[in-house]
Chains A and B, each alone.
Chain A
Amino acid sequence: MGRYVARRLLQMIPVFIGSTLIIFCMMYALPGDPVRAMMGDQAYDPTVVAGIKKELGLDQPLLQQYLNYMMGLFQGDFGTQIASQRPIADIILDAFPVTIRLTLFAFTFVTLVGIGLGVVAGLRPDTLRDRGLLTLTLVLVSMPSFVLGFLLQYLLAFQWSVTTPTVTDSTNLSQLALPAIVLASLSLAYVARLTRTSIAENLRSDYIRTAVAKGLPRRRIVGVHLMRNSLIPVVTFLGIEIGSLMTGAIVTEGIFNVRGIGIEVYEALSRREGATVVGIASLMVLIYLAASLIVDLLYAVLDPRIRYA
């Protein structure tokens, strides 16, 4: 187990270097010069542009810039934003916790409600409440998150005045509830359906029949025997979903005015702030990698037959 984790962690290094290099090159290949763009429509002085570029090391060749960036990264320096002159680490520190909190909020919601609904429906397949769930999830799946976002915003904030239309304080957990639910809705539908099918199928399997025949209490049959086996596909899905939730948060953050990384990335991209994009994107890569590692480890928990040497 320990060796397996160590090996997986070591594998992250080349993936990390590769992905940062690719993003770096892509930012470099985009047309438009960040320093020039800062000057806008109006008149400007090319000498000043050249001066700023030299100061920031943007006049050097791509590979040199990348090396400088990586060297800085090893010393814990994410670089400086071109326009605001603020350290990128500060910007990430401001925005990341917001997005992570939003994502975790949504993730918890997805896990609890999604699996709950799935179990409730799966235990009694083809009944009215099962059909009801299937219809509800179908609606959620087919509705883009921005539609649901605007709809809920309109109903809850403008018609019934239950909440404020936008998040005025991104650190306030109760204000994040609405965006988190919107963000969660799509995954919620998937998780509920996945759980439902898995439960319904396993309910008919031999080992459950054996457990019932042994006269075990129903709580134990469902809670330990049935759930454990049925949750394997759900956990896989959930693990990968953490990453998608974070990227999905970009849209939701826009609708509800949440100051997370989504907006940072968008702004940085349109301003060609290469270092900011690379910094945030590489952190996202790390989260993806960590999430998939956790998923793999959870397999072993759920199914002891799977072992890692």
Chain B
Amino acid sequence: MRGAKSAKWVAGAIVVALAATACGGGGGGEGESKGSGPAGYVSIDVGEPQKPLIPADTNEANGSYVIQSLFTQLLDFDAKGDIVYTNAESVTSDDSKTWTVKLKKGWKFHNGEEVTSKSYIDAWNWYANIKNNQQNSFWFQDIKGYEDVHPEKGEPKAEAMSGLKAVDDHTFTIELKYTMPYFNYKLGYATWAPLPEVFYDDPKAFGQKPIGNGPYTFEKWDHKKLIQVKAWDEYLGPNKAKNKGVQFKNYTTVEAAYKDVVSGNLDMIRQVGPTDLPKYKQDLGDGAIEQPYAAIQSLTPAFYSKTFKDIDPKVLQGLSMAIDRDTITKTVLNNTRTPAKGFTPPGVKGYQNLDTDVFTYNPAKAKQLVQEGGGVPGNKFTIQYNTDGGHKEWVTAVCESIRKATGVDCVGDPKPDFPTDLEARDNDQVKGMYRGGWVADYPVNANFMKELFHTTAEANNGRFSNKEVDELMNKADQAKSLDESVKAFQEVEKKLVEYMPSIPLWYYRINGGHGKNVDNVNVDFHGDLEVWGVTTK
């Protein structure tokens, strides 16, 4: 019986395979409770951070949520965008160039080490050093001596930036290369967090098991499943945790997360998916969150492209007036956006009413302006977008609106995913306009102009370049005080209407929610839910 013999072989192989897989994963369960985790903990749908948890190496939303719970930098902002001092007693400057930081005393890292001037200075020098390849290292470029640790090519010439000097254990100074009246606002970004001594022993291991000075201590990171942090009793800051801990849970789809919020398995969701938007207010009742935050979406012309090279700004003004923002945000975007009225979203310092009709739908005037400006070359242009981000619907609607109002033909130029879209922008291959988006790094209007429309700005992918605007921005940066600088940038914004470096479309709104087990869920200026303030019922 040859057959029977080999049957035993095959059956044996299958049994081995079954046993191997069934046992292999059994260890991960640990008898975890199925609901919202340990008592007093709150849960939120924050997915797997892209990178190890090092403050200066994280700029995407998932990672920043965790970083912000574990680390506290010098200062933070309230919902209005005003400064709230956290680890710093004060951050002051007489000339906007040399800043003095006074730290609060008694602050400790989670391992008991004291937070001193050195914790900050050493961390910043490490972040900025090119050898360490930190993604956010350019945030330190305003500091004197940045070029020494971060040259464009080759090895760093120094280990430390000359602009950072410790006065004593709780005082240090930051000298900038130039004046920057809103520099203290930049310090609110999570990248500026301090590091304990143990970090330098093994940064790689630290990134998997960070020790910070924030309201929560790290508990565990079950990759692709959840990150758990525990409230820290000894925390001294104003944002002390009001719950016992947080579980950042990973979901593959927003729909799955939403279902879990409705069924009580999850406490908070950051953004309700399009399929559930029409009914989420009904489902969640008081738990539904709808709030604008400091982010804007716009259409940016590629000023190097055939279509928009040397275009008359009047044409762009006309196209802007041809977009029916009210209807599109209401219907196509399900009320998840607020029509834009300028280049700066509300919630940042210097938000203003521009007193112009360029952002209001007016088909007759739109057509007239486009004609006066000489029209769009070829009477047709494209809007580049990435299809993996849910942009197709509104791009089509915007095109339709423009076509109807002005007769200029407009089509979408889809790229399969975000990396492809970015590559085309970086390499100056955008054929017409592209979909641009910008979330505030710090709540000052300069953030929405200097980083986007200055000739030398990295994020200026439309390659807009205008001497007058550049000079106005440089001048605004030299202002003596923040107020003066904000005012000067308000003037810049008025100038931008004349040149139209981009067509603002709408401001983002967060459409999230929470379940019945938690309360006090608030949203900060860049649209993140403030987990530390959430209370359990």
- In the bound complex, residues from chain A placing their C-beta under 8 Å from that of B459 are 41-43
Given that A40-B60, A301-B3, A301-B7 are known contacts, is A294 also in contact with B13, CB under 8 Å in the complex? yes
Check if B3 sits within 8 Å of A270, measured CB to CB: no
Judging by beta carbons under 8 Å apart, are A259 and B224 in contact?
yes
- Shortest C-beta distance, A300 to chain B (Å), equals 6
B21→A97 contact, CB < 8 A: yes
B92 is an interface residue with CB less than 8 A from chain A: no
Asked if B29 lies at the interface with its beta carbon under 8 angstroms from chain A, I say yes
Q: Considering the chains assembled together, what is the distance between the CA atoms of A30 and B437 in angstroms? A: 24
- Enumerate chain B residues within 8 angstroms of A301, measured Cβ to Cβ: 3-4, 6-7, 10
Indicate whether B420 reaches chain A with its CB closer than 8 angstroms: yes
Given the complex of chains A and B, what is the CA–CA distance between A40 and B425 in angstroms?
12
A52, chain B: closest CB distance, angstroms? 5
Q: Contact check: which of B263, B437, B441 meets A164 at CB < 8 Å?
A: B263
By the criterion CB–CB under 8 Å, are B417 and A32 in contact? Answer: yes
Chain B 193-217: CB-based contact to A (< 8 A → 1; otherwise 0): 0000000000010010000000000
Given the complex, which residues of B lie within 8 Å of A212, measured CB to CB?
Answer: none
| Interface assignment of A248: CB less than 8 Å from any CB of chain B | no
Given that A31-B423, A104-B21 are contacting pairs, would A257 and B252 also be in contact in the complex, using a CB cutoff of 8 Å? yes
Mask of A23-58 contacts with B, CB within 8 angstroms, 1/0: 000000011111011111111110110011001000
Q: A94-B223, A97-B24 are in contact. Are A38 and B50 (CB under 8 A)?
A: yes
> Once the chains bind, are B223 and A43 in contact (CB under 8 Å)?
no
Measured CA separation A76–B424 after assembly (Å): 37
B253 is an interface residue with CB less than 8 A from chain A: yes
Complex-state Cα separation, A258 to B252, whole angstroms:
8
Q: Contact: B419 with A100, CB < 8 Å?
A: no
Most B CB within 10 A of own CB, among A37, A254, A302: A37
Q: Is A210 in the interface zone, CB < 8 Å from B?
A: no
The answer on a CB contact under 8 Å between A169 and B133 is no
Which of B28, B263, B438 contacts A165 (CB under 8 A)? B263
- How long is the Cα–Cα vector from A151 to B35 in the complex, in angstroms? 24
A106 to B6, CA, bound (A): 25
A225: Cβ under 8 A from any B Cβ: no
Instruction: Enumerate chain A residues within 8 angstroms of B256, measured Cβ to Cβ.
Output: 165-166, 255-257
Whether B263 contacts A43 by the Cβ 8 Å rule is no
The digit string for A10-34, where 1 denotes a CB below 8 A from any CB of B, is 0000000000000000000011111
Which of B14, B418, B424 gathers most chain A CB within 10 Å? Answer: B418
A residues with a Cβ closer than 8 A to B are 1, 30-34, 36-45, 47-48, 51-52, 55, 83-86, 90-91, 93-95, 97-98, 100-101, 104, 153, 157-158, 164-166, 168-173, 253-259, 263, 270-272, 294, 297-298, 300-304, 307
| 24 A–B contacts from the bound complex (CB under 8 Å) | A30-B420, A31-B419, A32-B417, A32-B418, A42-B459, A43-B459, A47-B150, A47-B152, A48-B137, A51-B130, A83-B50, A84-B50, A91-B223, A104-B18, A158-B259, A165-B259, A166-B265, A168-B265, A171-B26, A171-B28, A254-B252, A259-B225, A294-B10, A300-B6
Residues of B that sit less than 8 Å from A by CB = 1-4, 6-7, 9-10, 13-14, 17-18, 21-22, 24-26, 28-29, 32, 34, 48-52, 59-60, 130-131, 133-135, 137-138, 150, 152-153, 204, 207, 223-225, 250-253, 256, 259-260, 263, 265, 388, 417-420, 422-424, 426, 436-439, 441, 451, 457-459
Given pairs A31-B424, A36-B423, 12 additional interface contacts (CB within 8 A): A30-B420, A31-B420, A32-B419, A37-B419, A84-B49, A93-B24, A98-B25, A165-B256, A169-B34, A170-B225, A171-B26, A301-B4
